[in-house]
Structure 1
């Protein structure tokens, strides 16, 4: 399978993009996990992938498959950086809860009190002056998803540029999909709502999101390979690809994290993403919510010495108060509830141009599963299920 070389200089962010590949790289990981990953990724036909399983006893297994750069044949490694996409929303919800605890705002405050009802994107809501921060974090604000029309736009993505890297015609007007609803009167997924939430947090705390994330989430957990790529200078990442006309097109240059912002700008490796999940959900024993082991108002027990959970019991309860979305999904604050392999799972998927990511916590076992791929339509939930089955879950 060839590689379609594309040298366009700029592309508007494409969020939620929901042949033979070089031989898989040999990386650390249990043999059964590695074998399962090899089989699942070969079947999926993706360039490269990393899967990590983190157990509540502090142990973990990781394996990598394929390549991070098709042109150079660079093996994918378990420590490679890839885009987390909309998993960023979980980071933002955690950050909002911690800033609320510090007294910067209440989640039930109106967003307009901090950024004004006529601010960018918030003004698109049916009742912008009534939207609360909590509604933004739970997709209940009525702020339309201005990127919704790009979800299935791969053909358009490949056709709007001429040979000189210039846009042939103006970008289409981006408008939200679905009927508008008043704040709190519906629940529809919207990237734009989280961008507004990020603006609110910056305005309330008077600091950039990258700084707030570092002090409130990354530093407490010792995360050194996690970046808010919208504004931070980042190390090289795995190349990102989409499949078109039977060939993989390198679309890394289209990965405009600054446009994703609070909706999808995080850049991570598998270890750091699993550490974030463990820091969030704690080292719960099989059979229950981590908060059930903690005293009221206290953080759940951490994983090991030097670890601490990010949220109190009350905050975890808020995060995991799931409600039904349009389409039948369930969402809390920056967090989905779904089933993978017949097991309940809490977490988030992420997708940007050329990348796919998954982070899921299984409350019945305490296992955290992470998967990262450099292909926008990689079937990572299926790959996670194969990985869990290989380990007897």
Structure 2
């Protein structure tokens, strides 16, 4: 998300911005757990092998996944330990902080408002939030709603503000959305709107404010009503103000502040720092359900879903990656694309998505992986969908 004082940690936290943006303490012995009896495969399973490798070779405290195959069946997997202090098992399909998968939820709500005629994609931000977005080279009169959702606005990332420079000091600190926005507006615009693509959490912070202004209701209530309840995501929610603990069984998540430093348990946190850009809590299975319902047209009319899937190159996220309106596509080694988003919070990372024919995978780890472990997560998604 943001830079730490050390150069190595700064690199790690920059990855959080890209969401697509820490390794376990040295010498920690972690053993992989087999799938539950109900989901165990009769022969060595490529997904289990990949999760085991993320734990045993890449040092992730835990890894967990849900995979939906061509047959429509879902299987769940776990590896590692759920709590480093106790050595407890990883809960099957446990809750995790979904990070920037939240952006897709936010984009869906905005596009629903577009379908209702309450928002226009090519109208300026100032149309809905007059005078709010102003700064050095920043003018909301020249930034469109589409540019917010597609990360082509040029707005600097509020995660680069000094207030978010050290996660160890703000684990339980509450941030107002306006305070976060002010941290972005204190910086200089990165480029003229519409001239480049660059991932910025500020875009979705502003989108959340737009949702509240247009609907007259809190952001979390709108996401719950329009998305979570609509498709029955029983283990997904937007944390309430002041809520710091996860509600259901979950693996613990960990912040790494350096290669020789002990991991910090960052499971509990005030997620207001992420808000409409990254606060949603979910499970692997619920995320598969969400992206499957989205691509199947259960959340958006055809016209708005087509707009969402109109993409621009986003090579910073990986070779061949393209970004639409709150969703990205990534080529698969076996042909075709996987559609999803992925997310990184302070202490969890998820990768996954769905294919046109309904295959789906979501994989989570419980600390932020550096290279090459980060690439190994992407490779595991590809292996699960192409097996």
Do they fold alike, i.e. is TM over 0.5? yes
Q: Is the 8 A contact 2:118 2:214 kept in 1?
A: yes
Q: Among residues 67, 76, 85, which one is paired with 2:81 in the alignment? A: 67
* 1:310 aligned onto 2:299: yes
* 1:335 aligned onto 2:338: no
* Structure 1 equivalent of residue 289 of structure 2: 275
* Structure 1 equivalent of residue 353 of structure 2: 360
Deviations 1:361-388 (A, max 9, x none): 233x531110111112263652453465
* Structure 1 equivalent of residue 179 of structure 2: none
* Structure 2 equivalent of residue 20 of structure 1: 28
Q: Is the 8 A contact 1:242 1:251 kept in 2?
A: yes
Instruction: Write the mapping of 1:1-393 to structure 2, written as runs, cut at 5 A.
Output: 15-16=16-17, 18=21, 19-28=27-36, 29-31=39-41, 32=45, 33-55=47-69, 57-117=71-131, 119=132, 123=135, 126-148=138-160, 180-229=190-239, 231=241, 233=243, 234-235=246-247, 237-243=250-256, 244-252=258-266, 255-282=269-296, 299=297, 309-325=298-314, 327=316, 329-341=321-333, 343=335, 344-363=337-356, 365-377=357-369, 379=373, 382-383=376-377, 385-386=379-380, 389=383, 393=387
Provide the rounded CA distance (Å) in 2 between the counterparts of 1:209 and 1:149: 23
Provide the rounded CA distance (Å) in 2 between the counterparts of 1:358 and 1:387: 7
Q: Is the 8 A contact 1:242 1:377 kept in 2?
A: no
| 316-325 or 233-242, which deviates more | 233-242
- TM-score, scaled relative to structure 2: 0.77
Report deviation, 1:111.
1.7
> Secondary structure of 2:78's partner?
strand
Provide the rounded CA distance (Å) in 2 between the counterparts of 1:76 and 1:58: 25
Deviations 1:127-150 (A, max 9, x none): 222222111101112211121478
Provide the rounded CA distance (Å) in 1 between the counterparts of 2:386 and 2:207: 40
Provide the rounded CA distance (Å) in 2 between the counterparts of 1:377 and 1:178: 30
> Secondary structure of 1:310's partner?
coil
> Secondary structure of 1:263's partner?
helix
Provide the rounded CA distance (Å) in 2 between the counterparts of 1:375 and 1:176: 30
Structure 1 unpaired stretches of 5+: 1-12, 166-172, 283-298, 300-308
Report deviation, 1:196.
0.3
> Secondary structure of 2:32's partner?
coil
Provide the rounded CA distance (Å) in 1 between the counterparts of 2:226 and 2:279: 17
Report deviation, 1:123.
4.5
Q: Is the 8 A contact 2:54 2:60 kept in 1?
A: no
Report deviation, 1:201.
0.7
Report deviation, 1:272.
0.9
Provide the rounded CA distance (Å) in 2 between the counterparts of 1:231 and 1:382: 35
Provide the rounded CA distance (Å) in 1 between the counterparts of 2:332 and 2:136: 35
| 371-380 or 64-73, which deviates more | 371-380
Q: Is the 8 A contact 2:102 2:279 kept in 1?
A: yes
Greater fraction of residues in strand? 1
Deviations 1:245-264 (A, max 9, x none): 34541241674311111111
* Structure 2 equivalent of residue 306 of structure 1: none
Provide the rounded CA distance (Å) in 1 between the counterparts of 2:204 and 2:115: 19
Report deviation, 1:37.
2.3
Deviations 1:59-101 (A, max 9, x none): 1111011122111212112221111111111111111111222
* Structure 2 equivalent of residue 3 of structure 1: none
Report deviation, 1:326.
7.0
Q: Is the 8 A contact 2:242 2:270 kept in 1?
A: no
Q: Is the 8 A contact 1:255 1:353 kept in 2?
A: no
Structure 2 unpaired stretches of 5+: 1-12, 22-26, 174-182
* Structure 2 equivalent of residue 295 of structure 1: none
Report deviation, 1:338.
2.2
> Secondary structure of 2:330's partner?
strand
